[in-house]
Structures are given as C-alpha cells and as structure tokens.
C-alpha cells in the first residue's frame, strides 16, 4: 500500500471508553465508519425484544405473525450491517488498487525514450515469467472487487429502505433498483411518509455525484458479475524529469500508465466500437473514477441513513402509519433447499461453547433460538 495509507493504519488505536458497545476503530481508520448509519443500526437494534421477539412494536401487525416478525426484524439489522461491510470491502480494494497502479507505473517508468532523431520510442519490458504479469492482473482484480462491493453496498441500502419503509416486496431479495421500483408506485395522497422519502431519495441521488453515477456503476458491476469483461485501455504518458537530459541532449522521460474504464459498460466491445461517435472509455483516470465513486457512495449512505432513522422514529411513535407487510417474507422455509457438505466427508462440527459479539447473543434470544426457548417455534404462527 502507499506510504500515506500505511502511516495512517499504523497509528496506535486510542483507548476504548469503558462503556463502549462496538469496537469501530478499524472502520474509523479506514474512513468507512458512518455515524448516521451507526445511529440507524442502534435505533433498530434497541427495539429488539426478548419477550415479544423481533421488533417489539411490530407485535400489533397480526398478519405478520411471529415467525415473519423475527425473520424480517433480524434481517433488517443484518442488511444495515451489510452496508458498512461492503463499504469497507470497497475501501480495501481501492487502497490495493492504488498500490498496484503505483507498482505498475514504477515498472513502466522508463519505457519511453527519445532516440537520436528526437522521436519518442516506446519499448515495453518483456514478461519473462508469470510474476512479471502478476501485478497487472491484480489491478483488474481490485477494479472488479471495488465495483462489486459498491454494488453490494447499494443493494444492502436498498434492503434497508424496503425494511424501514415497509415496502411490499421480499426484503431478502431486495436490491436498490427494487427499492426504487417500489417507491415509484407510491402516491402522495395516501402515503405521505413514503412519498416524502421518495422525493428525498430522488434529490439525494442527483446531489451525491455526477449525472448517472449510480447507473454507470451498476452497469459495470453487472458486466463484471454476469457477462464477459469489457476491454480496458491503458494510456502511456511520458513527461520530462526536471531538467535532466540524455546523451543526445533530449529530456529524460518518466512514463505513467493510466488506466481508463469503459464509458458504456453495458455495451460489448464491438457495440462500443460501432458507436464510435461516443468515447470508448472515460477520459479521466480509473483512480479518479473509483475515488469519486467511493465518495458518492459514502455521501448517499450518510444522507439516506439519516432519513431512514427519521422515518423509523415516526413509525415507532405511530405504528399505524405503515403496516409491515407479510409480503416481505413470502415463504417460511422449513429447511434449506439444498445441502452442500464440502469436498471432503466428515462429522459435523459440534460446538460446546461459542464466543461471539454480545449483539449476536441478543439476536439469538430475540429470535427465540436460545436453548431454552427454541421449542416455542412449534407454536409460532
């Protein structure tokens, strides 16, 4: 990693306060800890109830039933936690991407030189072994990992929107586009809370980044996950090194290799070439694109989390505002559809003792899955 990143991550942690609930020092050092998202998680979690199970003020939604109340409640908290985890993954990929770019620049620093006629010759180094190409492929790996993580953070944010606003669709299969689709069905005259949130989200999407930043990112993620990879373009940019000259009196050059990402990732290579009136790649360096995208994502998460907490408090004060729909968990699965036991046979691991975060213990109790209360599931509707 870059020296600046290593120096930042090497700072000694400040001591934890005596009454701390979670150790977020790593996330804070990585600049992914968001106070608004953390506040939303806390607000949801404190409504978990060990007697009523799940969100305690959801017990008046009789159609939901206890089982669905437990499943939806816990997954809502889990999906909020998933936002931060994927944001962290994105930052880790970004740091490693930047480091790999620096290493590749160092490897190609001397490929451009003036010949005796004053023309620039470009002679790329020969790859003598797989290791010579290793770093180049790591760059592609971290671009893919970064955009996958951004997309997953957005989809977890979509799940949080579905859960907090009680949108009538499966929370388990929700993503950001599904959340937007469900919000588009809201009519102002009969649903003021969700209508206001829809207006807020539309505005926030436009102020969090340049036009179409999320649709471009989502298209790139879908291409990486579901389709053949698009070609990328590296541009070699030689620049003089101060006033130093070579034996012919020409400036000594230092070359940077700048990666550019596809402008239209939803097109194939040939489609993009056919539409050559538009640029094949973005004009800015990939590092600029990815760093800007990370900033847009952080800004959106912060703003939306704050608004979701406001909606949650309104609903808690007046639960009849929005009925948590049964459609959010359409099917109670009696057992996993398929069972995978790994590549080698062996006895199932038996745990005599489990050490975990105290919050996970509370989730277990609020789901009636502790040893003394699991039998109650036979009586739950």
pLDDT in tens, 5-50: 999 999 999 998 888 878 899 999 999 999 999 999 999 999 999 9
Per-residue model confidence (pLDDT) at position 288: 98
Look at residues 131, 25, 49, 148 and name the one whose alpha carbon lies nearest to residue 94: 148
310 part of a folded domain:
yes
Give the list of residues 6+ apart from residue 149 with CB closer than 8 angstroms, or none.
86, 87, 89, 90, 93
What pLDDT does 59 receive? 94
Q: Are 1 and 99 in contact (CB under 8 A)?
A: yes
pLDDT value of residue 335 = 78
Q: Helices 213-226 and 286-317: crossing angle, nearest 10°?
A: 110
Q: Model confidence at 241, in pLDDT bands (50, 70, 90)?
A: confident
Q: Which residues lie closer than 8 Å to 324 by C-beta, 6 or more apart?
A: 55, 58, 61, 64, 69, 72, 166
Question: What's the total number of domains in the chain?
Answer: 1
* Residue 78: Cβ-neighbour burial (10 angstroms; 0-12, 13-18, 19+): middle
Calculate what percentage of the chain has a pLDDT beyond 70.
Answer: 99
> Does the residue 116 lie in any domain?
no
Token reading at 254: 């230092």
**pTM of the prediction?**
0.92
3-state secondary structure of 237: strand
Share of the chain above pLDDT 90, in %: 82
In this predicted structure, the answer to whether residue 368 has a pLDDT above a threshold of 90 is yes
Looking at the domain assignment, is residue 165 inside a domain? yes
Tell me if 110 is assigned to some domain.
no
The pLDDT assigned to 176 comes to: 98
Considering the domain boundaries, does residue 65 fall inside one? Answer: yes
Q: Which residue has the tokens 């006629």?
A: 117
Q: Is residue 190 part of a domain?
A: yes
Q: Is 76 inside a domain boundary? A: yes
157/290 Cα distance (integer angstroms) = 19
Residues 266/216, Cβ–Cβ less than 8 Å: no
Segment holding 253, helix H or strand E:
strand 251-260
Taking the CA atoms of residue 306, residue 307, residue 313 and residue 317 in that order, the dihedral angle to the nearest 10 degrees is 160
Domain that holds residue 317: 31-93+125-223+288-378
What is the rounded CA–CA span in Å between residue 328 and residue 172?
8
Which of 209, 259, 210, 201 has the alpha carbon at shortest distance from 231?
259
Which pLDDT score is estimated for 199? 96
In tens, the pLDDT along 258-272 reads: 999 999 999 999 999
Q: In the structure, what pLDDT confidence band is assigned to residue 320 with cuts at 50, 70 and 90?
A: very high
Q: What does DSSP assign to residue 13?
A: P
C-alpha 81 chain-centroid distance = 11
- Three-state SS at 46: coil
Which of 330, 323, 55, 332 lies closest to 166 in space, CA to CA?
323
H or E element, residue 364: helix 358-366
The contacts of residue 167 (CB under 8 Å, 6+ apart) are 161, 174, 179, 182, 183, 194, 325, 328
Q: Collapsing DSSP states into helix, strand and coil, what is residue 120?
A: strand
Phi, psi (rounded to 5 degrees) for 265: -65, -15
Question: Residue 148: enclosing H or E segment and its boundaries?
Answer: helix 130-164
243 in any annotated domain: no
């Amino acid at each position: 990693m870059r020296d600046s990143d290593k120096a930042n991550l090497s700072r000694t942690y400040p001591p934890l306060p005596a009454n701390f609930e979670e150790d977020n020092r790593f996330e804070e050092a990585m600049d992914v800890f968001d106070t608004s998202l953390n506040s939303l998680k806390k607000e949801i979690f404190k409504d978990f109830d060990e007697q009523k199970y799940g969100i305690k003020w959801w017990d008046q939604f009789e159609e939901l039933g206890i089982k669905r109340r437990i499943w939806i409640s816990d997954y809502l908290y889990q999906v909020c936690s998933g936002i931060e985890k994927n944001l962290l993954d994105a930052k880790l990929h970004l740091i490693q991407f930047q480091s790999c770019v620096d290493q590749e620049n160092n490897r190609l620093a001397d490929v451009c030189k003036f010949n005796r006629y004053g023309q620039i010759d470009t002679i790329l180094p020969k790859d003598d072994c797989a290791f010579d190409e290793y770093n180049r492929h790591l760059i592609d790996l971290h671009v893919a990992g970064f955009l996958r993580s951004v997309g997953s953070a957005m989809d977890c944010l979509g799940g949080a929107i579905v859960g907090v606003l009680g949108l009538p669709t499966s929370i388990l299969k929700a993503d950001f586009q599904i959340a937007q689709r469900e919000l588009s069905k809201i009519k102002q005259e009969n649903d003021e809370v969700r209508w206001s949130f829809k207006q807020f989200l539309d505005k926030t999407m436009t102020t969090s980044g340049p036009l179409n930043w999320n649709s471009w990112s989502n298209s790139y993620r879908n291409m990486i996950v579901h389709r053949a990879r698009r070609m990328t373009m590296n541009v070699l940019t030689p620049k003089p090194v101060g006033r130093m000259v070579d034996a012919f009196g020409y400036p000594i050059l230092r070359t940077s290799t700048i990666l550019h990402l596809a402008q239209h990732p939803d097109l194939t290579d040939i489609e993009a070439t056919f539409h050559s009136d538009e640029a094949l790649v973005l004009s800015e360096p990939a590092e600029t694109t990815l760093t800007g995208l990370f900033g847009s994502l952080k800004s959106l998460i912060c703003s939306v989390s704050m608004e979701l907490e406001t909606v949650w408090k309104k609903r808690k004060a007046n639960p009849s505002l929005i009925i948590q729909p049964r459609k959010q968990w359409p099917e109670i699965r009696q057992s996993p559809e398929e069972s995978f036991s790994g590549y080698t046979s062996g006895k199932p691991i038996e745990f005599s003792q489990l050490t975990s975060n105290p919050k996970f213990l509370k989730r277990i109790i609020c789901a009636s899955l502790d040893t003394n209360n699991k039998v109650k599931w036979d009586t739950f509707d």
